[in-house]
Each structure stands twice: as C-alpha cells, then as structure tokens.
Chains A and B, each alone.
Chain A
C-alpha cells in the first residue's frame, strides 16, 4: 500500500536515506558545475579534480591507493566486474569458489560463469552463518582462479573471518574478492590487513546516492573491463563518469570515516535494546545470525508460527518499514537462501523479520516497534493453524 506519511525506516541494509551533507556536496555538480571530466576546458578540469578528490576519499576509507579504486554504478556492477573480469583476463584457472550465503549479485554471476566452463564450489556455513574454513581449505587448489566471499551478510549481519579466508585463498595463488557492500562505512576496513585483492562497495548502503559504487583492485591483479569504449577509469570501465554520484560517494566515505566508531556503538545499544525487549515480550522468537560477530545495526530473528510478509504488512500499516526472509518478500517462491543455508527450518525462515538500523534512527523508532510488534504477532498467531497445536 502506498504510504504518503513518513515511515519509521528500519530497512537500512536494503538502502539508506542520503545524508543531507552528501546531498549538499552533490547538488552543484548537477547544474552549476556541468563539466565532463574528459573535457579540457575549465569546467571539465573542475569535474576531473572533483572526481579524483572523491577517489582519494574512498581510498582513505579503505586504506588503499587511489589508483586502486574504480568507480562503478554500484555493488552489483562491481561484483560483476570482479568475477567476470578476472575470468576473462586469463585462461589457465577454471574454478571459482563462493559461499552459499552470498548476495545474488555474486551467486548468480558465479553460476553464469559455469556456462563458460568454470567449475563452481559453494562453501557451506554454520548455524550462525560463518563460512566453513575447513571446507574452504579443502576446496581451494591450484586450479582455483577466484574466491569470492562477502564481508558481512546483508540478511543476518554476520561478519565473515575475511583475513583467514584470504590467507587460505592466497596459499594456492588464487585471487580473493569480497563483496563489502554491507560493511564499508560501517566497520573499519583496511585492505592490507584484510589482505583482499578485490572489494566491492556501494554508495547507497551508507548514506550516499544510489547508482554509484566502486571496486577496489589491488595493484597487479589482472582483470578485463566489461564495458568497453573510452578511456574512463583507466580503460577499465568506459562511460562518462557519474560526477554528482561520485562526489556523493566521496563525501559519504569521509563522513563515515569520522563518525564510524561512535555510530557503531550507538547502533549496537539501540539494536540490543530492541532485541532484549522483543525476546522478553514475545515468546518463541529466535535470533538469526552470529551473537557477537555481527554488524551492530542488524537484527534478524524468527517468530514461530507466523509468516513474515503478514508481519511486514501489519508493521507497514503502523508506519514501520522492515524486511523478511519469507518467500513472499523475495519475489521468488523460496524462503531466504541465507537462512536455509544456515540450517534454519523453512517455516522459521518464512517467519523471519529483519530490522536494520541506521544513522537516522533514534530511541523513539525502537520504542515504536516494541509498542506494536507483540500485538501484531499475537493477532497473527491467533489465526495460525500451527499455533497451540
């Protein structure tokens, strides 16, 4: 149902509202600073300088060199370039390893590469969603080109042991890519400490604009472009730069760098209070995801005997925006592949709810959920044939 009023937005892992400071930084580049960074006139030079300054700001956040950053249209494109680009740049190695809980932007691309003769291995996860390192260790060999495992999962917030994964990957000379769309701007990332070779990020997941992202590629890692054309992005991604978007991404990175530590703590306190109240007031709920190795703004849990979409609809009517791993909300007929891979029974996966908190949420938003959710669950349980059996 269309809602005109302002909603209590607790779906920040899906996308975030743009930070007004980011918007302010972008606005001039839509009109008063019209230059194409490839032009040699003053307006063009200004745009070029702004884009390069934004590149610096992204690289500062990731602790890498600015020439290791390639701007893209977002997380999905970055993942596509990382996976297909490394495959197309070589012919020797024909094996890709990923995890069973990746975002579709990685899973579907890896599956597609099977058409080109690539063997695909999906590493399973434990009940908290942590990848099985022993399995990975056995799977990586000298035929392995690429290991792509996400930094943190979008549904559960579980953070993967990236450093250990890169070590295993590098033992056999394979390339390690991580989809860090959920972690960039939220937790500290140092590309050298994590030992990643490629890393995808997306602007709109951390208060930047939609339609812009970046791919970090360590110097020396070979990859082919997917979009051929002009010499943009050092001939690795042709097409006129999304200047306002790139400026916005740079600003979002700088803000995140300054505010990350305090914000992480603030969100953790809010989230833990939310979960404590929910688990006190609603019987038969269970946390999905790692109890501690988890993004501080993410809360995913299952409500027994009730289906997720019906809870979301009722929350929406109360003005609260959240998310679920139920089949009904995935656009497919399957429950969340992430929760199922963690061994969570289908009925509980259908009954999952995700609240993802962000920069603009306050105590009041949490109170609103605590006020209405127990009643919503009770009503739906009353009509559930599974309840009270």
Chain B
C-alpha cells in the first residue's frame, strides 16, 4: 500500500490514543464488518451550548482498522484539539485527507471516518447538556458507511 510519509508517521506514532475518564461526549463511527471502527472521547470547555464558545479541551481515540484508519483518527484528533465545536462541525473528511498529504483512493470512503466519529462525540455532548435540537443538526456518522 502506497501511503504518504505523514500517514506512516501517524500510523506508527498515533497521537491522542486512549480513553478519557468521565468524558463529556463519546462518538463511534464504522463497524468491524467493514474493517474500520473508531471511537472518540472528548472533554469540552467551557461546558456551554454556544458552539462558538465551547471548545474541545481534550480528545482521545481508539481504532480498529487499517493503517489509513489509524492515521486518519490520529490526524483528526490533532486537528480537533482546542477547536470550537462549530469549527469541528465544519471540518470535512477532505480536510483530514489533505492534512495527511492524501490517501489512496480506495481509503477515502471507508477509512476516512475520523471527522464523523468526532462529530458523533459532539452530538453526544449536546444531547447530554439537553440540546437535542442542536445535536440533530450535526451530521455525524452516516448510518450506512458504504
């Protein structure tokens, strides 16, 4: 598999691996049937429902998947760290792929689900603080990953 140096770097030394005790939100995307699964834990500060004020203060992930999936999760976690929720909601899969200096075409769809998984965690956070209405507006993980 031809991966960029950046992909290999994040694959070999993934950033922000793990889980958070008492997270403010948990998001999962993918499933083991497709061969890629990601789970993100986030902490949000300040605990606000103002998407432009609340920021991801801490982020951790775990991934079952190929080299690309691990690199995507790691890169997406770095990109989301410290950003406001509204900034993360606007992030796209292409942003992650670009930051990794590209992904092989076949990996663009299935493995590139880091952003969606983090957005799922944001949805979870918004639900926990009672803003189902806002949670409903966040795209998150598609039901059919293929």
Q: Which residues of A contact B (CB under 8 A)?
A: 1, 305-310, 313-314, 317, 326-329, 331, 333, 335, 346-347, 350, 382-386
> Closest CB of chain B to A314's CB: distance in Å?
8
| Residues in A whose Cβ lies below 8 Å from that of B17 | 382-383
Chain B CB within 10 A, most for which of A1, A313, A386:
A313
The reply to whether the CB of B125 lies closer than 8 angstroms to some CB of chain A is: no
A309–B62 CB distance below 8 A: no
| Residues in B whose Cβ lies below 8 Å from that of A347 | 32-33, 35, 64
A385–B8 CB distance below 8 A: no
A328–B37 CB distance below 8 A: no
A307–B35 CB distance below 8 A: yes
Q: Which residues of B contact A (CB under 8 A)?
A: 1-3, 8, 11-12, 14, 17, 28, 32-39, 61-70, 106-107, 109-111, 146
The 10 closest A-B pairs by CB, nearest first: A347-B32, A309-B66, A328-B66, A385-B62, A350-B35, A385-B39, A346-B33, A327-B35, A313-B67, A384-B64
| Residues in A whose Cβ lies below 8 Å from that of B69 | 307, 310
**A329→B68 CA distance, assembly (Å):** 12
B66–A326 CB distance below 8 A: yes
20 pairs from A and B in contact (CB 8 Å cutoff) = A305-B64, A308-B66, A309-B66, A310-B11, A310-B65, A313-B1, A317-B12, A327-B110, A328-B66, A328-B107, A333-B106, A333-B109, A346-B35, A347-B32, A347-B33, A347-B35, A383-B63, A384-B62, A385-B64, A386-B64
> Closest CB of chain B to A326's CB: distance in Å?
6
B66–A310 CB distance below 8 A: yes
| Residues in A whose Cβ lies below 8 Å from that of B39 | 385
| Residues in B whose Cβ lies below 8 Å from that of A306 | 64
| Residues in A whose Cβ lies below 8 Å from that of B32 | 346-347, 350, 386
A307–B12 CB distance below 8 A: no
Q: Which residue of B lies closest to A382 (CB)?
A: B17
A335–B35 CB distance below 8 A: yes
Q: Which residue of A lies closest to B28 (CB)?
A: A385
**A308→B32 CA distance, assembly (Å):** 12
**A384→B14 CA distance, assembly (Å):** 12
Q: Which residue of A lies closest to B62 (CB)?
A: A385
A309–B67 CB distance below 8 A: yes
**A1→B6 CA distance, assembly (Å):** 12
User: Could you tell me the dominant secondary structure of chain B's interface residues?
Assistant: mixed
> Closest CB of chain B to A254's CB: distance in Å?
38
A385–B37 CB distance below 8 A: yes
B62–A327 CB distance below 8 A: no
A333–B146 CB distance below 8 A: yes
Q: A313-B11, A328-B67, A329-B1 are in contact. List 20 more A-B contacts (CB 8 A).
A: A1-B2, A307-B36, A309-B66, A310-B11, A310-B67, A310-B70, A313-B1, A313-B8, A313-B67, A326-B66, A327-B35, A327-B110, A328-B35, A328-B111, A333-B106, A347-B33, A347-B64, A350-B32, A385-B63, A386-B37
> Closest CB of chain B to A362's CB: distance in Å?
28
**A61→B2 CA distance, assembly (Å):** 40
Contact flag A383-B34 (CB < 8 Å), given A306-B64, A328-B1: no
A383–B1 CB distance below 8 A: no
A333–B11 CB distance below 8 A: no
Q: Which residue of A lies closest to B8 (CB)?
A: A1
**A310→B107 CA distance, assembly (Å):** 13
| Residues in A whose Cβ lies below 8 Å from that of B36 | 307
**A317→B111 CA distance, assembly (Å):** 21
> Closest CB of chain A to B16's CB: distance in Å?
10
Q: Which residue of A lies closest to B30 (CB)?
A: A385
Q: Which residue of B lies closest to A386 (CB)?
A: B64
- The 8 Å CB contact of B63, one of A309, A329, A333, A384, is A384
A333–B110 CB distance below 8 A: yes
**A327→B17 CA distance, assembly (Å):** 24
B66–A307 CB distance below 8 A: yes
| Residues in B whose Cβ lies below 8 Å from that of A383 | 14, 17, 61-63, 70
**A307→B11 CA distance, assembly (Å):** 13
**A314→B11 CA distance, assembly (Å):** 9
Q: Which residue of A lies closest to B3 (CB)?
A: A1
> Closest CB of chain A to B1's CB: distance in Å?
7
> Closest CB of chain A to B103's CB: distance in Å?
12
| Residues in B whose Cβ lies below 8 Å from that of A328 | 1, 35, 66-68, 107, 111
